[in-house]
Amino acid sequence: MPVPYPVLKFALKVITSKRLTRYVNKAIEKDGKKFTIPQIDRRDVKPLLNALTEQKGLTLVETKLKDGTEVIVQL
């Protein structure tokens, strides 16, 4: 299933938003758990995303099962 890079960049903005992090941490606190999700800085993740865009077409995983099913994961 191909994911366009603009969609990936939008998802990065949503995941790294302070509002979402606060909402998730409040939901965890309601369950009484001591775990919190740290805030992710968008500037730290952006170089990774830029490096991925330079590697378009790179095959990460390629496997074939005995029944003929093939799975190929590419950037």
SS3 21: helix
Total tally of structural domains belonging to the chain: 1
The pLDDT score that the predictor gives to residue 25 is 85
The per-residue pLDDT string of the chain (75 residues; one tens digit each, 9 = 90 and over) reads: 677 778 888 888 888 888 988 888 888 888 777 788 888 888 888 888 888 778 878 888 899 989 999 988 887
Q: In the 3-class helix/strand/coil scheme, how is 42-54 assigned residue by residue?
A: HHHHHHHHHHHHH
Question: For 20-29, b where at least 16 C-beta lie within 10 A, e where not — what string?
Answer: ebeeeeeeee
The pLDDT score that the predictor gives to residue 67 is 93
The pLDDT score that the predictor gives to residue 54 is 84
Q: Alpha-carbon distance 37 to 17, whole Å?
A: 12
The pLDDT score that the predictor gives to residue 33 is 77
The residue to which tokens 């938003």 are assigned: 17
Domain range enclosing 69: 5-74
